[in-house]
Amino acid sequence: MAGEIPIVIFRLDEQQYALACTVIRRILQAVEIAEIPNMPKSILGVINVEGEIITVNDIRQHFGLPHSQLSVKDFIVIVESASGPFGFVVNDIDFAAVSKREISCHGTVNVIKSTQGLIYLLDAEQLIQQQDWDTLQELTQKNRDDKEIGKRDLSS
């Protein structure tokens, strides 16, 4: 329908959140996340999606929720952001469309009133912290440098 926004609704513990479908690249059934040493606690690790390495963030920490073990029932939502794609783990997903009239703004928080309760409509850019990207970029560059040094050592 005209004037409706397609959204993905996801759950973290008992609270529901949503993102506009336009920022979502892909949703995967949970897969093993490779941990990276010396990363901020807000970065769970990385996954390989068809040859592309995607950072997986712990958005539970963003909302002050306790860490949760990855379950085969979980999903990884991959979104596009200005800093590049990143993923995060959610407990459950659903799809819906909401009219702009159903969304109310409370300060910096957009809320959707639904028959299942309140759903917080999120901005993907707010889910990742700049220091996380900076740390990951530094680690990636160090990894490239280490590989280049290893290649030079082998050819000597």
Q: Decide if pLDDT at 8 tops 70.
A: yes
User: Is 130 in contact with 121 (CB distance < 8 Å)?
Assistant: no
pLDDT value of position 82: 79
Give, in words, the CATH class of 4-128.
Answer: mainly beta
Strand partners, 99: 4
Q: How many CB atoms lie within 10 A of CB 134?
A: 12
CA separation for the pair 120, 16 (Å, rounded): 7
Closest CA to 120 of 67, 81, 62: 62
pLDDT in tens, 74-130: 999 999 887 788 999 998 999 999 988 888 888 778 889 888 788 999 888 777 654
Q: What is the pTM of this model?
A: 0.77
Q: Decide if pLDDT at 142 tops 80.
A: no
> Of 53-62, 81-90, 122-131, 132-141, which range is least confident?
132-141
CA separation for the pair 54, 13 (Å, rounded): 24
Domain edges within the chain: 4-128
Helix, strand, or coil (residue 95): strand
